[in-house]
Chains A and B, each alone.
Chain A
């Protein structure tokens, strides 16, 4: 995916740097729109990459062009200092200024952005639910509130895009829900591009449209979320994490069983919980949750059975294989044992039924 010739709406970057026990070697293009996930295990270089983009870390060899403007070019010895790069940075910890109240924290970057301020203060405060916090000091905020203020502060500095470095990592599971929906809403309403670093594939699936996978300072994949997740040759995605993402529409809801029926091009799925009718949702189906059957009629507890074709069979672990399936326009993955593969005599091109045990529905795509 290393296209030549950057589009004006892209971030073109190249970084090479060597540290004591770590090196980064990247040359990529990222879209300057939507939410781009940067995924990889810890120590894979995600944070270093963001810090390079922000100008907080110096690379041995660096090139950064944002929407056609050169921010960093070590060959030309030109490098914009951090404060002149129109970006927002949300760190793992909120890093709020403890001596300023929430309002003045929010205004810190806004004041320094000069005339370029486009985002309306009240609008951002409302979007992030900060109205009641404005007079408080950071010491009196919960972790989730503080992180929302940090996001608002970054947004209000009139950035061309925002870097988020695992903004939920320091929060416990309960607090994450105080922040995650706000990030979605913010992007949906303001349309500021985000580069979102995470080592949680769940967060990535919920938020991102585009995905860059890093391992050991190198890029393993870069492309549309669905395409990257459907690849079976990415050990960095984590064996158990392999899977697919489907876009579906909520057809109806059965209140007796608390199940919603979701339709997509390959058929329909039942998912627990109530969703608003005709809402577009994103469904993540993990390869481990998909089994294969040759006929439709077997009596089983499994509710979801989809017609599918086997597109490819890939080696996985010594005991298992990964099947790439096509159902309608959608791609699915299934991890089955090598033993089952042999017993059922499965081959590429076979028509089968994919059985989905548990379906996790993620987010609305508005």
Chain B
């Protein structure tokens, strides 16, 4: 068990960082998708939703190519930092952001769509700059959407396997996340260790989702 806390902590760290990044990137994207009448909107929506339907191995394969030392992003990263993106924690973060993007964007987008622009317009006529109006009115009003987006991104990243395997491999302390560790234990017929880790993940996922639905229910009542 002792050497399994490493993968658990790494997974939590990866999920937390990915969630924070996705909230920053996903919010403007979701806002644009919720408000735009641009012709390109359906195309962008389809791209955002792709990770839901693609097998993680397909996504992982393309990411591997892209992030590898000869890929566009990986090559640039190698030049900038002197290290490769694949089989590194940084690479995992990028891959996770792509993989979990729809789970951040879609709840936010639907929250923004339900909200509409009414209160935002009221705030603007009351002298609030666009960003001020967004932070002081839209964000508090869309709080359930932000909570759902955070929880789903976090939980989805935590359970990620295929993409990690393709892009990150199995380097302890760097890319050996909890799902990889479980796979490893099963491979080596160490079922009791696999049981323990799986149970931890199962309970954690359940509790997080439970908390989310509980809070959202309270919010929707008030």
Contacts of B128 in A (CB 8 A): 83, 108, 112
The answer, yes or no, to whether B135 is at the interface (CB within 8 Å) is no
Residue in B123, B125, B128, B130 with the greatest tally of chain A CB atoms within 10 Å: B125
Question: Which of B124, B137, B140, B141 is A83 in contact with, Cβ under 8 Å?
Answer: B124
Report whether A83 and B118 are in contact in the complex, using a CB–CB cutoff of 8 Å: no
**Stretch of A3-11, A85-93, A128-136, A188-196 that contacts chain B:** A85-93
Contacts of B132 in A (CB 8 A): 83, 112
Q: A87 → chain B, closest Cβ, in Å?
A: 7
The answer, yes or no, to whether B127 is at the interface (CB within 8 Å) is yes
Q: B11 → chain A, closest Cβ, in Å?
A: 34
Contacts of A154 in B (CB 8 A): 125-126
The answer, yes or no, to whether B222 is at the interface (CB within 8 Å) is yes
Report whether B123 and A97 are in contact in the complex, using a CB–CB cutoff of 8 Å: yes
Report whether A98 and B127 are in contact in the complex, using a CB–CB cutoff of 8 Å: no
B140's nearest neighbour on chain A, judged by CB, is A99
Binding site for B on A (CB under 8 A): 54, 56, 81-85, 87-89, 91, 93, 95-99, 108-109, 112-113, 139, 150, 153-154, 157
Report whether A112 and B118 are in contact in the complex, using a CB–CB cutoff of 8 Å: no
Cα–Cα, bound, A85→B125 (Å): 7
Contacts of A82 in B (CB 8 A): 121, 124-125
Contacts of B133 in A (CB 8 A): 83
Evaluate whether A87 and B125 lie within 8 angstroms (CB atoms) in the complex, with A93-B118, A95-B118, A139-B222 already known: yes
Question: Which of A56, A98, A99 is B124 in contact with, Cβ under 8 Å?
Answer: A56
Contact with A along B126-148 (1 / 0, CB 8 A): 11111011001100110100000
Cα–Cα, bound, A97→B119 (Å): 7
Report whether B127 and A112 are in contact in the complex, using a CB–CB cutoff of 8 Å: yes
Report whether A109 and B141 are in contact in the complex, using a CB–CB cutoff of 8 Å: no
Cα–Cα, bound, A91→B124 (Å): 13
Cα–Cα, bound, A318→B69 (Å): 87
Report whether B141 and A98 are in contact in the complex, using a CB–CB cutoff of 8 Å: yes
CB-defined A-B contacts under 8 Å, sample of 19: A54-B125, A56-B125, A82-B124, A83-B125, A83-B128, A87-B125, A95-B121, A96-B119, A97-B119, A97-B122, A97-B137, A97-B140, A97-B141, A98-B141, A108-B123, A108-B126, A109-B126, A154-B125, A157-B127
Contacts of B127 in A (CB 8 A): 83-84, 109, 112-113, 157
Q: Is the interface of B mostly helix, strand, loop or mixed?
A: helix
Question: Which of A89, A93, A97, A139 is B125 in contact with, Cβ under 8 Å?
Answer: A89
Binding site for A on B (CB under 8 A): 118-119, 121-130, 132-133, 136-137, 140-141, 143, 222
Cα–Cα, bound, A108→B121 (Å): 13
Question: Which of B121, B126, B129, B141 is A56 in contact with, Cβ under 8 Å?
Answer: B121
Q: In the complex, given contacts A97-B123, A112-B126, what are 12 additional A-B residue pairs having Cβ atoms less than 8 angstroms apart? A: A83-B125, A83-B128, A93-B118, A95-B118, A95-B121, A97-B122, A97-B141, A99-B143, A108-B123, A108-B128, A112-B128, A154-B126
Report whether B122 and A95 are in contact in the complex, using a CB–CB cutoff of 8 Å: yes
Contacts of B130 in A (CB 8 A): 81, 83
Cα–Cα, bound, A93→B119 (Å): 10
Contacts of B141 in A (CB 8 A): 97-99
Cα–Cα, bound, A326→B136 (Å): 57
Cα–Cα, bound, A297→B115 (Å): 66
Contacts of A56 in B (CB 8 A): 121, 124-125
Cα–Cα, bound, A292→B196 (Å): 98
Contacts of A54 in B (CB 8 A): 125
Contacts of A109 in B (CB 8 A): 125-127
Q: B177 → chain A, closest Cβ, in Å?
A: 37
Cα–Cα, bound, A81→B141 (Å): 23
Q: B37 → chain A, closest Cβ, in Å?
A: 12
Question: Which of A95, A139, A157 is B119 in contact with, Cβ under 8 Å?
Answer: A95
Contacts of A91 in B (CB 8 A): 118, 121-122
Q: A40 → chain B, closest Cβ, in Å?
A: 22
Cα–Cα, bound, A83→B125 (Å): 6
Cα–Cα, bound, A84→B140 (Å): 23
Cα–Cα, bound, A54→B126 (Å): 11
Q: A160 → chain B, closest Cβ, in Å?
A: 12
